[in-house]
């Protein structure tokens, strides 16, 4: 059987293990997937991300696809297996959180995952031209952008300038989420991720790919206290 395009691109990396210096790889390095086994469907892509987050939260990250062979391969183009739409917060870098390497993830990182023309254009590019099978909308606990929208919901003054754009993008979700008290911000974080995932799945330029099963959109929340990614719908 002929190799798929993605498998062929990564086949040359199977000998890359020799680039590691003896004794420097984590104890759980054997749990890392071989580059040539890159997922090509939504279920496999999601499984790969879950496995990577498990390594991350257990302090067993393998930092795959960072060596010379990978860098040289990517000069000719990219073929990521997932797109992660996450917050710009410095504590939640997707490649680390999911223990992935160069060329594995197409990342878009506006504060609060707020959608605008540039973000939607980036997502559409990844779906139409890079054929990513999976989109993950990744919120996180203690999100500053969501907190700002909650503050306005509770009576604070609307911020001026560019930050106003972020708050206005999140505020409708906050206002439709029941205010249950001290966990309200995190409730809104989850609600925001779910709302954005729904917006992407029904977007006119993306819906054909989602409805056909070629691309799946899922929402998730990263917990800063445990380093765990909680997928909100499977």
Does 2 fall in a domain?
A: no
Confidence of residue 190 (pLDDT cuts 50, 70, 90): very high
205-214 mean pLDDT: 97
pLDDT in tens, 146-180: 999 999 999 999 999 999 999 999 999 999 999 88
Q: What is the CATH number of the domain that holds 123?
A: 3.40.1050.10
Q: What is the pLDDT of residues 70-98, one digit of tens each?
A: 999 999 999 999 999 999 999 999 999 99
Per-residue confidence band for 113, with pLDDT thresholds at 50, 70 and 90: very high
For the chain, how far is it from start to end, CA to CA, in angstroms? 31
Beta-sheet strand order (sheet of 82-86): 105-108, 82-86, 134-140, 216-222, 229-231
Domain span holding position 92: 38-231
User: What is the domain count for the chain?
Assistant: 1
Residue 27 lies in a domain: no
- The answer to the question of residue 56 being in a domain is yes
Tell me, yes or no, whether 107 lies in a domain.
Answer: yes
Q: Has residue 14 been placed in a domain?
A: no
Higher pLDDT, 8 or 104: 104
Residue 3 belongs to some domain of the structure: no
Residue 229 backbone dihedrals phi, psi, to 5 degrees: -95, 120
Residue 20 in domain: no
Distances (CA, A) of 234 to 82, 98, 199, 208, 216: 16, 17, 17, 20, 10
Please state the pTM of the whole predicted model: 0.84
């Amino acid at each position: 059987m002929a190799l798929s395009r993605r498998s062929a691109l990564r086949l040359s990396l199977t000998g890359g293990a020799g680039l590691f210096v003896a004794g420097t790889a984590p104890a759980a390095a054997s749990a890392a997937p071989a580059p040539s086994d890159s997922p090509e469907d939504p279920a496999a892509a999601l499984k790969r991300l879950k496995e990577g987050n498990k390594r991350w939260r257990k302090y067993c990250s393998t930092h795959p696809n960072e060596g010379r062979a990978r860098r040289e391969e990517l000069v000719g183009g990219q073929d990521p297996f997932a797109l992660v739409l996450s917050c710009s917060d410095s504590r939640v870098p997707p490649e680390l959180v999911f223990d992935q390497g160069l060329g594995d993830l197409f990342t878009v990182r506006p504060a609060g995952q707020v959608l605008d023309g540039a973000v939607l254009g980036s997502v559409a590019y990844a779906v139409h031209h890079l054929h990513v099978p999976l989109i993950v909308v990744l919120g996180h606990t203690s999100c500053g952008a969501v907190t700002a929208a909650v503050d306005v919901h509770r009576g604070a003054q609307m911020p001026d300038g560019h930050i106003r754009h972020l708050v206005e993008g999140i505020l409708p979700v906050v206002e439709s989420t029941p205010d249950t008290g001290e966990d309200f911000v995190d409730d809104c974080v989850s609600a925001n991720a779910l709302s954005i995932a729904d917006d992407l799945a029904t977007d006119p330029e993306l819906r054909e790919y989602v409805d056909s099963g070629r691309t799946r959109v899922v929402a998730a929340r990263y917990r800063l206290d445990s380093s765990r990614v909680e997928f909100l719908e499977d």
